Amino acid sequence: METHTFFIQLLVILLTARLLAEIAVRINIPAVIGELLAGIILGPSLLGYLQPNEVIRLLAEIGIILLLFSVGLETDVRRIIRTGQKSFIVALMGFFAPFMLGFMASYWLFELSLLVSLFIGGTLTATSIGITVRVLSDVNRQNEPEGQIVLGAAVLDDLLGVVLLALLYEFSIGGGVSLLNASKVLVFLTLFFLLAPIAARLISVVIRHFEQVKQLPGLIPTAIVSLVLFFAWLAHAVGAPELLGGFAAGLALSRRFFLPFGIALHTDHVFSQRISDQMRPIIQLFTPIFFVMIGLSLNLREIDWSSSYIWSFSLVFFVIAVVGKFTGAILIKEIWPKRILIGLSMMPRGEVGLIFAELGHISGIFNNEIHAGMIIVIALTTLLAPVSIRGFYCRNRERFD
């Protein structure tokens, strides 16, 4: 491809994503929806200006790995411990309920295959902690008990989701669903999650040492990106999706990391902050490319909108998506307004849901229609969450304290 063609394409992607994300935020919609829309507008669904090509895919992949890195970096594992039992219930139910309901609806109602049904169920388990945090902060409930429960549950859902993602990935590339494949993945995953953070922590000590003795500026961007790339490659080598490596690297460098056997390691707060600060421009540059690319890979024109299939599909799974996350919230011992707020806060699938859907699409499990249907469900939950949380909270404020 000609260099200048690539430049114009990249430029258009960056600017459109930025513009639509900014507009989205101003009308209280999460930015990721704007970026997704940018891809839909630029792609075969509307303008047909861009097709995903190899270079864009690679940049998008780097973007999502860096995003998972920053998610890991910000993850506070101790939070789950602190909020205890309620987080667990909300998280576990909010994981298994959508999965089971989604699987059953897909397998028996829509008569899709085993693998597709597993993927659909998996996609519905996601919770976007980023969007959740932002919306709770908007209504100032993030430090309240219900906010803490939600955040703890979201972290746990992230971890469970990552395990499920690795399993589904193995099934999709390894040749089908089998106990052997599943066991293999779980063994590798356990080893990976035990060893990788230790290795990453050692490497970060090395990086920190060089940061102090170096004579050349710019060590952190190079070293951290290299670390993330290495762990992504390592994850692939053990049969897991690359973004898991990014997540593990971020987790290992996070400020309060809790290793197995009760060994707590504290990263130097200043160093962690420096990593955050210097990686931020790079992450902010690359990450939108991934969500634009999801939009680019969608072809809404190829869907038969006149048939009832896409509508019933989206509706059924949307209902399951909402109801599934509520089950956990309903079961815990809190006053009812808080239970509802928790349920609504767990709802947005956001970035994590899109990652699952993209995995399903790339591995050929989801055809274009199912892919579009899942994206519609994810987008709806992501769109409605902030609106409904804000609406519900404002109307019922007096019942909260």
Least distance in Å: CB of 199 to its own copies? 15
Integer CA distances (angstroms), 295 to 58, 317, 354, 378, in order: 16, 20, 10, 13
Least distance in Å: CB of 53 to its own copies? 10
Q: Which is nearer to its own copies, 81 or 202 (CB)?
A: 202
Only segment of 41-49, 137-145, 180-188, 234-242 that touches its own copies (CB under 8 A): 234-242
Binding mask 68-97 for its own copies (x = CB under 8 A): ------------------------------
Q: Which is nearer to its own copies, 91 or 279 (CB)?
A: 279
**Contact set for its own copies, span 28-67 (CB under 8 A):** 31, 54-55, 57-58, 61
Least distance in Å: CB of 273 to its own copies? 14
Rounded to an integer, what distance in angstroms lies between the CA atom of residue 330 and that of residue 100? 17
Rounded to an integer, what distance in angstroms lies between the CA atom of residue 251 and that of residue 258? 9
Least distance in Å: CB of 336 to its own copies? 33
CA 285 and chain centroid, separation: 18
Only segment of 22-30, 76-84, 85-93, 348-356 that touches its own copies (CB under 8 A): 22-30
Among 41, 186, 219, 331, binds its own copies (CB under 8 A): 219
Q: Is 212 in the site for its own copies (CB under 8 A)?
A: no
Q: Which is nearer to its own copies, 242 or 358 (CB)?
A: 242
Rounded to an integer, what distance in angstroms lies between the CA atom of residue 104 and that of residue 342? 25
Q: Is 223 in the site for its own copies (CB under 8 A)?
A: yes
CA 24 and chain centroid, separation: 19
Residue whose C-alpha is closest to residue 345's, from 48, 136, 176? 136
Q: Which is nearer to its own copies, 219 or 330 (CB)?
A: 219
Residues 6+ apart with CB under 8 A from 69: 224, 228, 246, 247, 249, 250, 279, 283
Among 63, 94, 197, 288, binds its own copies (CB under 8 A): 288
Integer CA distances (angstroms), 251 to 75, 155, 230, 231, 266, in order: 7, 11, 15, 12, 12
Residues 6+ apart with CB under 8 A from 138: 386, 390
Among 218, 262, 263, 398, binds its own copies (CB under 8 A): 218
Polymer length in residues for the chain: 401
H or E, element range at 265: strand 264-266
Residues 6+ apart with CB under 8 A from 219: 207, 210, 211
Only segment of 175-183, 186-194, 263-271, 272-280 that touches its own copies (CB under 8 A): 272-280
Q: Is 137 in the site for its own copies (CB under 8 A)?
A: no
Placement of tokens 């945090």 in the chain: 133
The values of phi and psi at residue 104, to 5°, are: -65, -45
What letter represents residue 344's amino acid? L
Binding footprint of its own copies on the chain (CB under 8 A): 1, 3-4, 6-8, 10-11, 14-15, 17-18, 21-22, 25-26, 31, 54-55, 57-58, 61, 210, 214-223, 225-226, 229-230, 232-233, 236-237, 242, 278-282, 284-285, 288
